[in-house]
Amino acid sequence: MSDNPVNDRIQSEIDENSVVLFMKGNPMMPQCGFSAAITQVLTQMEVKFKGIDVLADDELRQGIKEFSSWPTIPQLYVKGEFVGGCDIVREMYENGELKELLDNKGVEYAS
Amino acid sequence: MAMDAADIERLIKEGLPDAEVTIQDLKGDGDHYAATVVSSAFAGKTRVQQHQLVYQALQGRMGNELHALALQTSAPDGA
């Protein structure tokens, strides 16, 4: 436990869920094109993921940027590890690295 | 709230002096850019670390004045 409650919350979300997307809006209704792009990739790959809407929580919106040392949203975490934002995820999807990463980490797909 | 392509390039080069920077204004609105950055500082680093170096060079502007900067980073061949 750190003395920063937001960090603790983020840490437990990424510990408890194998794939977490910190995003603007929710997976059903993304509120930003970049969040929509990653949602689309994950949906297409039939990956089970938890979308967390940072617009609903200003503390989280700032907190996640510091937590990851990453200035923008969306942010994708797989098994507790920061994978990247929209550019990186898209690039990894296109060259097959994302599938490889998810398989290596034993991520579940929707059946 | 927008930034000039020239300012973006200058900041990146201040942070990464050997960088070759190419910037495209994607929509012509001074708000949505794509940048390709090649620097020897990226050698041996993960993509996340490479992008973090560029964000550091931009000194907090990314996500603030600078809304959208699609990044592509790489080390020069042979580095």
CATH number at residue A72: 3.40.30.10
Alpha-carbon distance of A91 to B28, in angstroms, equals 24
Determine, for residues A72 and B71 on separate chains, whether the beta-carbon distance falls below 8 Å.
no
Per the structure, the complete domain to which residue A40 belongs is given by 5-104
Chain B contact for A65 (CB, 8 A cutoff): yes
Q: What is the pLDDT along chain B (79 residues), one digit of tens a residue?
A: 578 999 999 999 999 999 999 999 988 888 889 999 999 999 999 999 999 999 999 999 998 888 889 999 999 986 5
Residue A29 domain-assigned?
Answer: yes
ipTM of the complex: 0.83
Tell me which amino acid residue B55 is: Y
Number of domain units in chain A: 1
Residue A98 domain-assigned?
Answer: yes
pTM: 0.90
Determine, for residues B51 and A71 on separate chains, whether the beta-carbon distance falls below 8 Å.
no
Residue A93 domain-assigned?
Answer: yes
Determine, for residues B47 and A65 on separate chains, whether the beta-carbon distance falls below 8 Å.
no
Domains of chain B, with CATH numbers? 5-74 (3.30.300.90)
Distance from CA of A52 to the nearest CA of B (A): 18
